[in-house]
Each structure stands twice: as C-alpha cells, then as structure tokens.
Structure 1
Amino acid sequence: MSMFENTHPELTRIGIRIENVDSRYKPLMRMGISIDEMIYLARRLYPLIRDGKRILDLGCGNGLITVILSKLISEAEFHAVDDWKKVSRDDLIKNIEIDKAKIALGEFTDQFTLSYQDTYFDFVYSVMFLSNIGKDGRTKISDEVHRVLKEKGKFVVIDTLVFRGKIKKDLGDKFKLDWYGEENGFSFFVWSK
C-alpha cells in the first residue's frame, strides 16, 4: 500500500498526507469553493505567509486550508477562528487530530471581536469570508485585524471577484495595499499594517 493511498493527488504532489480529504472536509456553502480550490488557495497562500511565526486564519470554515498550511509551515504557530454557526468545530477538532496538524482554534468573543492580544500575529489571512459579513462586519474585522497584527504585519484576503471593490474600499482606510491580483475567479489582496 502506498504511503499516500486515499489522499488527494494534488496533496500527494506537494508531499502532504491527508487521507479521505473529500469525505472529512465538507465544502462550506459560505465559502462556495471546492476541495480542489481550497488546495489550490493553500498553495497560493504558502509563499505569501511562509515566513510567519504566528498566523491567523480568519473565518476558517472547514479548516482544510489551515491544515495544509500548518503542514507546509510546521514551525509556525497557527490559529483559526470562525463563528462556528455553519461549520462544526467538533468535526474540525477531530480532523486536526487525525491529520496531526498544530492549530489552536478560537472564536469571536462577540460581533467579530478577536480574543488575541495586540500585535500578536505576523500574518492574518481570510478566504471567502469578508464578502459574507457586510460592510459593518468588514469595518469591525478591519479594526480587529489592525489591532492584532504586528507592525508591518500582512493581511492577505482572498475573495470573489465581484466583491473586490467593496473589500478594497472597506479595508483601504486601515491598511496599505501592497499587491492585488486576480486569478481563477478569485481576487487576491496583500495588505500591510
């Protein structure tokens, strides 16, 4: 039996073992993306965040992207938060244990308030979350991410192309846009504090 039996071929290609990924990590409607797209986005995020010591996944959904990244950047301290309304925190805890990932799960203490100290993270990233929380939510998240990011820290946002203007407008007051790109129907923002 192969070491990578029952794992996704793209994960095998990058040397990561996550067995039965399609059955254990259910796609999340809020994110609207497939397992293949999550793997692709994790690979796109990797070079952007690989130098981070403390990294936060904001609105982690099923957690697959962070599980992959925690395996690629094993020396980093990963955290993941969600409101846990549309995804099972217990399922993610089981998957983290099965996949031997090192991820600390958190949650919002109230309407998008993060329970982390000021200037704690080198990188924060968010995939397909900001377009689902409205202008007030994006304003609150912007304040919170700015608070928890270290000076010169990066906030990487991946979202749908149709919301790129709103995201740029709502985050542009707090962050400096270092890079923007569009690829495969996604908008990629790299903001700095």
Structure 2
Amino acid sequence: MSIFNDTHPELTRLGIKLDNVDSRYKPVWRMGISIDEMIYIARRLYPLIKDGRNVLDLACGNGLITVILSKLMQGSEFHAIDDWEKVAKHEVMRNIEIDNAKINLSDFRNGYELPYRDEYFDVVYSVMFLSNIGKEGRTKIGNEVKRVLRNDGRFVIVDTLVFRGKIKKELASLFNLEWYGEENGFSFFLYKRVK
C-alpha cells in the first residue's frame, strides 16, 4: 500500500479531496505538463472563469483540470471535449465517476467542429492544445469557439510561451484580448467574444 493514497496537498489547500490523483490521472503527452502543473493551472484558471454558468474545457486531456474546476464551481454546468486519441474516454469517464464530478463529455466532429449550439457557453478554456494543432486548426477552432460563446463570453487559453505570438496573431480578428500574463513558463490569455 502506498503512503500517497491521500489527496494531493495543493488540492487540500483548495478544499478538494481527490484520492490517488497521481496514479489515476496519467499525464497527457500532448499537454506536456505534470499532474502538479495541472493542479496549478486549475488554481490559476479559477479566478478567470469562476462566474461562468456554462463552461467548456476544449481538449480536456485526462480531465483533471475540469474535475478540479467543477468541484470549485459546483453550481456551473461543465462540458469537456477531446478527440480521445491521446487518452481513453472511458478512463476519463471512470475518474469523473470516482471523483463524483458532474461533467458532460463529448467528441470533436469532423476535425474541430464543436457539437454545441450557437452562443451556449459563458466560458471556454483550453490548456496546452492550440500549440499542437497548427495554424489551420487554430483558425478553425477559433471560429468554432466564437460560434459557441455568448456575446461577451470568455475564451481563456493556457499554452507555452513559445507560441504566444502565433496565438495572439491568429486570434486577433476573432476576439478582443482583455488580459495577458506569463507565469512559470505558461502564457495566459483572456479573450472576450464580441459581435
């Protein structure tokens, strides 16, 4: 029996209990970040999205960030989507059930089409995804996010510092950049959808 069966210390500070996080949530190659970094990112995302009622995690990977945020925002409706190539959807579903989280999982359609109605979400966030899909993918997903966001909805992006210029440039025609910050090797973008 491992001595690390208790919840992660940083989760305890957030008031969240998730047992065996390190063994159940496998890091996702596409994301390239550790479990500790996922917890840190969830903590940093929270103030940027905390008043969102309908929230989408765009390319959720192993789902840990979404589970943490859904626990912090229990009155919100959470959705998560991925192509499920780097992580098995059934494993994410199992962890959601174990952690008693309320998250609706979906699949991308035809590449990066989102299976949601227009102007449904208050907030869409994405962690370590846009840097992995190329310019054409970023343009397509940017248009899809704009379609599913309500007017004045927020698109929050966390990605590597290396791609900050490309992301800013490619999304400038779709969203207004409200805030940008850099911390611990990550870029944080807060965009707003405008008509």
TM-score (norm 1): 0.97
User: Counterpart of 2:192?
Assistant: 192
SS of 1:155 mapped into structure 2 = strand
**Any gaps of 5 or more consecutive residues in structure 2?**
none
2-structure distance, mates of 1:80, 1:174: 22
- Which residue does the alignment assign to 2:103? 103
Whole-angstrom CA distance in 2 between matches of 1:14 and 1:27: 21
After TM superposition, the structure 1 = structure 2 runs for residues 24-35 of structure 1, keeping only pairs within 5 Å, are 24-35=24-35
- Partner residue in 2 for 1:61: 61
The corresponding residue for 1:19 is: 19
Deviation of 1:87 (Å): 0.6
Map Cα deviations across residues 145-193 of structure 1 (whole Å, 9 max, x no partner): 0000000000000000000011111111100000001000000000001
- What SS is found at the alignment partner of 1:56? strand
TM-score by length of 2: 0.96
Counterparts of 1:148-163 in structure 2 under 5 Å? Answer: 148-163=148-163
Task: Give the corresponding residue for 1:9.
Answer: 9
Distance in 1 (alpha carbons) for counterparts of 2:171 and 2:63: 24
Q: Does 2:127 match 1:131?
A: no
Which consecutive aligned stretches of 4+ in structure 1 deviate over 3 angstroms post-superposition?
Answer: none
Q: Could you tell me how far apart the structure 2 residues matched to 1:5 and 1:25 are?
A: 13
The reply to whether residue 114 of structure 1 matches residue 114 of structure 2 is yes
Q: CA–CA distance in 2 between the matches of 1:144 and 1:14?
A: 32
> 2-side partners of 1:81 and 1:110: how far apart?
13
Q: Distance in 2 between matches of 1:192 and 1:13?
A: 30
Cα distance in 2 for partners of 1:39, 1:186 equals: 14
Structure 1: segments with no counterpart, 5+ residues: none
User: How many positions carry a matched residue from both structures?
Assistant: 190
C-alpha distance in structure 2 between counterparts of 1:83 and 1:33, whole Å: 18
Amino acid at match of 1:14: L
Q: CA RMSD in A?
A: 1.0
The DSSP-based 3-state class of the residue aligned with 2:86 is: coil
Aligned to 1:38: 38
Secondary structure, aligned partner of 2:166: helix
Deviation, structure 1 residue 107: 1.0
Identical counterparts, % of pairs: 68
SS class of match (1:125): strand
Matches of 2:28 and 2:93 in 1, distance apart? 16
